Copies of this chain bind each other. A is one copy, B any other.
Amino acid sequence: MEEGTLKSPSHCKGTKDDAVRQWDVREDCEVRQILDRVADKWSLLVVALLDQGSWRFTELRREIDGISQRMLTVTLRNLERDGLVRRTVHPVVPPRVDYELTPLGATLHDTIQALVRWTESHQEEIAAARAAYDARATGDTP
């Protein structure tokens, strides 16, 4: 509603000398807004799943362990609003609603898959790092 007042150039003045940053990190910038949406815990999972064809609401709910009905609805609405997911209501009874990625959403999927794959392939290193950190913390700071 109240946007339009501030428009930020993609290159910004940096406090660290001149232009060290390659992108805008201001709180009100577009990228930050979208990043917050896309980097959302549930959004990530939903998009990752939706690549595998069309899903019904209840299927998604069953599949995503731990998500509540409310959060799935909210997440899907947000993704739909951002043009990443298409919602199709079939006028049958009982009602049937299908969700699938839009072409725009499909382009995001590659990036998310990269994130998931990174996580999978580095989970042991991270687990080891955590264990080492915890051991250091408990044994070192009496």
Contact = CB atoms under 8 A, between A and B. Distances in A.
B129 A31 contact: no
Interface residues of A, number: 66
A80 B136 CA distance: 12
A25 B64 CA distance: 6
Dominant SS among interface residues on chain A = helix
Interface of A: 7-10, 12, 14-16, 20-23, 25-28, 30-32, 34-36, 38-41, 44-45, 48-49, 52-55, 59, 62-66, 80-84, 104, 107-108, 111, 114-116, 118-120, 122-123, 125-130, 132-134
What are the 3 tightest A-B residue pairs by CB atom distance, in nearest-first order?
A: A83-B129, A27-B66, A9-B53
